[in-house]
Structure 1
Amino acid sequence: MPPRRFTRFAAFDWSGRAIARPPGITLAECSTGDAAPILIAPDRGWSRPAALDWLLAQAEAKTDLLVGIDFSPALPHADEGAYFPDWSETPSDARGLWALVDQLCAAEPHLSASTFTNHTETARHFRHRAGGMTSVGDRFEGSMGRLRVVERRCRALKLGNAVSCFNLIGASQVGKSSLTGMRLLHALAGRVPIWPFDAVPAHGPLIVEIYTTIAARAAGLTGSRTKLRDGPTLDTALPNLDTKPHTTLARYDDHATDALLSAAWLRHVSQDATLWTPAGLDQALAATEGWTFGIP
């Protein structure tokens, strides 16, 4: 049996850009039923602090909300037994990692996290750009970088090409958004539970990590078509998630469609018990690496 039922479903497409209001941050929401999700946006667009305030408001209201956020909540740990092997100050679990990211980036506004990779020890593990040049740390592994257990499983099941958070270069990199996401999770300070680091509460909101490609593929999109930017294609995908056509948007981009599809997908699969008890997820991973909801 799934752990509980929810009445509302939301999805954040996320961004790691070090500006006040990254245009990539997009939120879509829907309720039970089959109506299409709608976009929710402040007049000036989303900031990361505004997203934090929105989540805290859901906690205050005890909203029965399942919200997916498209970033990795932790770095790889299981492969080496540490986030940063051979460093005496490496955190022992995800909450310690969130605190470390927040501590090293405390001077940055907007919950940005650009300076995290400048630390003497952490920089050794990342591939990033510095001064217009590519910098590859001596502890960066292989051509791709280290992967979490769930990222390797995602690739093995051909659900998507999950990439390493230690790579900060290229259009597909997710490290920057994930590091800013860790600052968000630290700021929540347990006021909104995060699966699987926290137990699923009987009431109120719950956050899960999502990978928007999984939602797109569940909606029937394949290959490079998992990113769509027009209304007609969106309306061919939504029925596969038992969702009616959407209300026409003023502007289409893949951030908006990712959020809309992901919110509909969360509603569609939230009662699938297999997704709440994935193979390979144990207590150690639940404390250190977490898991992407939707990967069985």
Structure 2
Amino acid sequence: MWSRQAVLDWLVARRSDPMLVGFDFSFSAPFMARGAHLPGETDSVRARDLWAYVDAHSADVDLGAASFLEARRSRHFYLGAADGAKADFMHFRECETWFNAQGGGKPSTVYDAIGAAQVAKSSFAGMRLLHRLDGAIPVWPFDPAPSKGAAIVEIYTTIAARAAGIRKGLSKMRGPDALDEALTSPAIGSRPHAPLARYDDHATDAILTAAWLRASARRTELWHPQAMTDAIAQSEGWTFGVA
């Protein structure tokens, strides 16, 4: 099991390598709809400033952020029925709203911090990691895509699954045959995988999405989404693959 710090160190050591690195967490909180990432608390406009704020106000080990959310439950984050109506916390980034409108599926919000599908804890912990990178590797779309070396993008594994022809609601691959079928699909174009010691949907999602990133890295339209303005890019970010 890798620690976040170990991942950070590994990335920095390989920042000159030609890699497209995908992280499956939200790189920012919503901003555009309400004019603030954490209304009434933060004055950040850029996502980078939010990263710095989260890092400065989180004491968790290994770049965690659970205490950041706990200290702000009911004010910004929903962690259970005691926090009020869940609907009051359902605010989304522009890319999430756009993805849903295109039929991509119902997104999660970083303000919902309970349940198996929640992305809040990993996202705010991930923001600490992005802050600690300190510019060592470009993070798209906050930075332009580099002409060489490594780059980091936000991913959503469902996008890779759809590209591979896996139908909505059936995106989990838990065995070698399903994984190979997805990897060798025309849109992915990879060879069958080397057998794994153990199969679960986390491992298979990661392998398929890495293969999709390799196949999609030169698609110009994915680096220039039609609905992503400069203001959205800098304040909220965007998920690579949401065109």
Whether TM exceeds 0.5 here: the answer is yes
Question: What code does the residue aligned with 1:196 have?
Answer: P
Q: Which runs of 4+ in 1 moved over 3 A?
A: none
Q: Give per-residue Cα distances to partners, 1:238-285, cap 9 Å, x unaligned.
A: 111101111111000111001100010001111111111101211111
How many residues get paired?
Answer: 241
- Within-5 A mapping of 1:112-261: 112-119=64-71, 123-129=74-80, 134-136=81-83, 142=87, 145-240=90-185, 241-261=188-208
C-alpha distance in 2, partners of 1:221/1:204? 32
Q: Is 1:52 the equivalent of 2:8?
A: yes
2:232 aligned residue (269, 285, 290):
285
C-alpha distance in 1, partners of 2:74/2:13? 36
Provide the residue aligned with 1:91 in structure 2. Answer: 44
C-alpha distance in 1, partners of 2:37/2:27? 13
Q: Which runs of 5+ in 1 are unaligned?
A: 1-44
Q: Is contact 1:160-1:214 (8 Å) kept?
A: no
2:53 aligned residue (97, 100, 105):
100
C-alpha distance in 2, partners of 1:144/1:261? 32
C-alpha distance in 2, partners of 1:170/1:141? 12
Higher helix share: 2
User: 1:223: Cα distance to partner?
Assistant: 2.5
User: 1:123: Cα distance to partner?
Assistant: 4.8
User: 1:112: Cα distance to partner?
Assistant: 0.8
Q: Give per-residue Cα distances to partners, 1:177-202, cap 9 Å, x unaligned.
A: 10110010011011111000012222
TM-score (norm 1): 0.78
Higher strand share: 1
C-alpha distance in 1, partners of 2:181/2:49? 43
Q: Is contact 1:160-1:213 (8 Å) kept?
A: no
Question: What code does the residue aligned with 2:78 have?
Answer: R
Q: Is contact 2:65-2:124 (8 Å) kept?
A: yes
C-alpha distance in 2, partners of 1:126/1:182? 16
Question: What code does the residue aligned with 1:98 have?
Answer: W
Q: Give per-residue Cα distances to partners, 1:198-234, cap 9 Å, x unaligned.
A: 1222211000000001111111111332111100111
User: 1:143: Cα distance to partner?
Assistant: 6.0
User: 1:157: Cα distance to partner?
Assistant: 1.1
C-alpha distance in 1, partners of 2:106/2:226? 19
Q: Is contact 2:69-2:121 (8 Å) kept?
A: no
C-alpha distance in 1, partners of 2:88/2:174? 31
**Shift in CA distance, 100/158, structure 1 to aligned 2, threshold 3 Å:** same
User: 1:144: Cα distance to partner?
Assistant: 6.1
Q: Is contact 2:25-2:154 (8 Å) kept?
A: yes
Q: Is 1:274 the equivalent of 2:225?
A: no
C-alpha distance in 1, partners of 2:167/2:115? 21
C-alpha distance in 1, partners of 2:221/2:65? 34
Q: Give per-residue Cα distances to partners, 1:55-77, cap 9 Å, x unaligned.
A: 10111xx1111111101000000
C-alpha distance in 1, partners of 2:195/2:146? 35
Q: Is contact 1:144-1:163 (8 Å) kept?
A: no
**Pairwise CA RMSD of aligned residues?**
1.6
Provide the residue aligned with 1:15 in structure 2. Answer: none
Question: What code does the residue aligned with 1:76 have?
Answer: P
**Shift in CA distance, 155/117, structure 1 to aligned 2, threshold 3 Å:** same
